[in-house]
Structure 1
Amino acid sequence: MLSEVLHISAPGKVILHGEHAVVHGKVALAVALNLRTFLRLQPRSDGKVSLSLPNIDVKQTWDVAQLQLLDTSFLEQGDVTAPIPEQLEKMKEAANVPEDCAATKRLAVMAFLYLYLGICRKQRTLPSLDVVLWSELPPGAGLGSSAAYSVCLAAAFLTICEEITNPLKDRDGTSRWPEEDLQSINKWAFQGERVIHGNPSGVDNAVSTWGGALRYQQGKIASLKRTPALQILLTNTRVPRSTKALVAGVRSRLLKFPEIVAPLLTSIDAISLECERVLREMSTAPAPEQYLLLEELIDMNHHHLNALGVGHASLDQLCQVTAAHGLHSKLTGAGGGGCGITLLRPGLEQAKVEAAKQALIDCGFDCWETSIGAPGVSVHSAASLDSSVQQALGGP
């Protein structure tokens, strides 16, 4: 059992191209977003395990001895076993979360307990730990916040129990795990996602684990090697939406107008494939004309998504505001509100970027200047973390 403090981070995600078309067997490109979730795990010696999630006001402590008495026989069926409703109900009781607690809080606590018990059960006694997670990702915005949460927990528990290596041991800076260990992290993180979402695709946790860009089609996930980190504005319109209803709307439109909608889906697929080709070319020596191609693809895909019926006035406003500053934007994710991304090509004057950002904020939107193609789950020395992150995690 490792005894040192662990600091781990994992990125969120955005869909670059392929929203909704992916439901119908087409290619989607998902990219790691350089807004991250951070974890600090510190061993304690009082026989308790605690979880603190300052973003959503969760702070809970359990007696390890009580958790040790829980029936975890369902976890003996294999290294990574999907929870069934009856088991989740027992875990809900063990979690001791008030019934009137928001679903977000209850599911976060249940995922924590599931991963803690599932990974640490092989130890002679469950470890006594203090775990804090803080995120730059807004929850419920379709940016993979729950996946980053599950990936951080899986990596931390696997490392503390020496199921995987600690690549940073006795060194400063930031390190990443070897491929075999990333596979283990991803498998367990997927189970955390299943606790939270029921039937996730596995894309979000894969992007958060490996980072960069991934190609997803009909359940098959492949990593794009050496993708460039692209600068973007990420805008949250703060307009709530129902992914389920939006997906159903596209399906209905496809049944109603098959000869119109099917070619749209095929065209979105072609946009994803062309973007994948351009990104591969940019891995060696990005050229200005390649950014112009990416901008054209962004414009075309946004119009296609509007034609599918998943646009929203707020997203059109986002595109109009950024276009007035010579920038190109599209919705990302389910649409109907939610988030959009704006490509920032190299060489843009920072004053123009700031003006666009302020104009979006003036619309009542949240806006971040960040990047996509970020590194996946990583372990950090305390000294390598930004002081604001350390403060959020309760560090010095």
Structure 2
Amino acid sequence: MDRYYCVKLSAPGKVILHGEHSVVFGKTAIAVSVGLRSSICIKEIQESVFKVNLPAVGLHETISLELINKELLNHKTSYIEAPEALAHEEHLTRIEIFVKDIISNFEHLPNVKQNALRSLFYVVFGIFGGNAFENGLEITIVSDLTIGAGTGSSASFAVCLAGALLQLAKLKKGIKVDRLSLDDKKLISKWAFNCEKITHGTPSGIDNTTSTFGSLVTFRKGQEPGLLDIKLGLRILLVDTGVSRETKVLAANVRSLMQRNKQAVDCVMEAIDHIAKSALEILQNFSSCDQNGGIDVKYQYLAELWNMNHCLLASLGVSHSALESIRASALARGLACKLTGAGGGGYAIVLIPPSTKQSIVDELSKELSAKGFVVTDTILGSPGVTLDS
């Protein structure tokens, strides 16, 4: 009797705590995993097809297994342990030709669907090259994350995809694991980074690192992301403005502002960098806080830094009326709020200290919802990629 394997895995999104825009100019950025996740299920099936179900982007495709196997054998070499050795542009060009051949309307699909398919087959052929599938496959990925809103949805997708396919490859070799090792995660992150290059061109690596390892990640241009295994458990309200924004346009506007007012903008960037470093120092000592009052002081410091950071970013022109509306509602209840990511819309994050009465949180959530915003009560510092039962 044939054995049919099944892999389930999930990975979190992320928010930027500090360092938005200043990171482009060599300053420190801090990202942290958020309690919203993408989940993947890959299972072998009897049908000789390759089923792709991505409801988050409205993508559902069924492809002949014969076509997949023919392309797998054409690729000849597996780069399962060394994605960095894969000739990225050459491999991606071959994937592009393949998906255009098998998906009749590929060129008319929205960019998010095109990139999802590119990433999927990039990893499939990179890992399983030279080896045909004996059984059909069904791949389903669902997500709590809003696509393209700055919470690392593409990285979470890529980490899920890479992690599950790598585990499937292990199972097919007779290797069963119940928990991902550090080496497993490092390899997953490398594959996910390659996928991020498909989506973003020149990614920093902070999104896939945060999604893979969880907790808190620091980044500085030209350096490897730094992992900090800190059990934060920071409670926030993650508020979706529903306003789309283009990161490239916002970043270009900041650059133009700097060209016109270099000394002033330099001072703003230095101040944002100082805030990021100060916040990092507080967060590194967070778990050792005195629960009899010390924790309240730490939250007060963090709140002050959040408010200052937001105002500095607003001075660069990257806030939005929707973000200011959210912030006004939060400040009226004594709660710190800042934009996260590129700004210009996207998300705001509201810090909820442990001493905050639930009635205040409920009241704020109700008011924000009435304004048309989507509010999620969640935790920062959640686990990275995990195998699910």
Provide TM-score, normalisation by structure 1.
Answer: 0.89
Against the structure 1 CA distance between its residues 283 and 122, is the aligned structure 2 distance closer, same or farther, given a 3 Å change threshold? farther
SS at match of 2:170: coil
Structure 1 equivalent of residue 203 of structure 2: 200
Against the structure 1 CA distance between its residues 126 and 25, is the aligned structure 2 distance closer, same or farther, given a 3 Å change threshold? farther
Structure 2 equivalent of residue 6 of structure 1: 7
Question: What is the percent sequence identity of the aligned residues?
Answer: 34
1:292 matched to 2:306: no
Shift of 1:72: 2.4
Superposition RMSD in Å: 2.1
Which of 185, 188, 203 is the aligned partner of 2:188?
Answer: 185
Structure 2 equivalent of residue 242 of structure 1: 246
Structure 2 equivalent of residue 365 of structure 1: 373
Against the structure 1 CA distance between its residues 17 and 126, is the aligned structure 2 distance closer, same or farther, given a 3 Å change threshold? farther
Instruction: Give the whole-Å Cα distance in 2 for the aligned partners of 1:192 and 1:127.
Output: 25
Structure 1 equivalent of residue 44 of structure 2: 43
Q: Show the 5 A alignment for 1:383-394.
A: none
Instruction: Give the whole-Å Cα distance in 2 for the aligned partners of 1:350 and 1:76.
Output: 51
Structure 2 equivalent of residue 89 of structure 1: 96
Structure 2 equivalent of residue 102 of structure 1: 110
1:259 matched to 2:263: yes
Structure 2 equivalent of residue 347 of structure 1: 355
Question: In the comparison of the two structures, how many residue pairs are matched?
Answer: 374
State the Cα deviation string for residues 336-360 of structure 1 (Å, max 9, x = none).
1111100010132211111111111
Against the structure 1 CA distance between its residues 124 and 69, is the aligned structure 2 distance closer, same or farther, given a 3 Å change threshold? closer
Q: Show the 5 A alignment for 1:204-243.
A: 204-219=207-222, 220-243=224-247
Shift of 1:333: 0.3
Instruction: Give the whole-Å Cα distance in 2 for the aligned partners of 1:199 and 1:126.
Output: 36
State the Cα deviation string for residues 12-53 of structure 1 (Å, max 9, x = none).
010000000000000000000110001111111222221101
Instruction: Give the whole-Å Cα distance in 2 for the aligned partners of 1:195 and 1:272.
Output: 29
Instruction: Give the whole-Å Cα distance in 2 for the aligned partners of 1:353 and 1:243.
Output: 30
Instruction: Give the whole-Å Cα distance in 1 for the aligned partners of 2:79 and 2:376.
Output: 44
Shift of 1:240: 1.5
The 8 Å contact of residues 41 and 129 in structure 1, kept in 2 or not, is answered as yes
Structure 2 equivalent of residue 140 of structure 1: 148
Which of 123, 130, 138 is the aligned partner of 2:131?
Answer: 123
The 8 Å contact of residues 12 and 208 in structure 1, kept in 2 or not, is answered as yes
- Answer with 364-373 or 62-71: which moved more: 62-71
Instruction: Give the whole-Å Cα distance in 2 for the aligned partners of 1:329 and 1:72.
Output: 50
Instruction: Give the whole-Å Cα distance in 2 for the aligned partners of 1:240 and 1:74.
Output: 41
- Answer with 242-251 or 70-79: which moved more: 70-79
Provide TM-score, normalisation by structure 2.
Answer: 0.91
The 8 Å contact of residues 295 and 343 in structure 1, kept in 2 or not, is answered as yes
Structure 1: gaps of 5 or more residues = 169-175, 382-396
Instruction: Give the whole-Å Cα distance in 1 for the aligned partners of 2:226 and 2:327.
Output: 30
Instruction: Give the whole-Å Cα distance in 2 for the aligned partners of 1:185 and 1:94.
Output: 28
Structure 1 equivalent of residue 55 of structure 2: 54
Shift of 1:179: 0.7
Against the structure 1 CA distance between its residues 73 and 4, is the aligned structure 2 distance closer, same or farther, given a 3 Å change threshold? closer
Shift of 1:5: 2.2
1:269 matched to 2:273: yes
Instruction: Give the whole-Å Cα distance in 2 for the aligned partners of 1:324 and 1:94.
Output: 57
Instruction: Give the whole-Å Cα distance in 1 for the aligned partners of 2:220 and 2:312.
Output: 19
State the Cα deviation string for residues 27-84 of structure 1 (Å, max 9, x = none).
0000001100011111112222211012222111112221222242686698312234
Against the structure 1 CA distance between its residues 311 and 107, is the aligned structure 2 distance closer, same or farther, given a 3 Å change threshold? same
Against the structure 1 CA distance between its residues 2 and 142, is the aligned structure 2 distance closer, same or farther, given a 3 Å change threshold? farther
- Answer with 96-105 or 347-356: which moved more: 96-105
Instruction: Give the whole-Å Cα distance in 1 for the aligned partners of 2:78 and 2:177.
Output: 27
1:112 matched to 2:120: yes
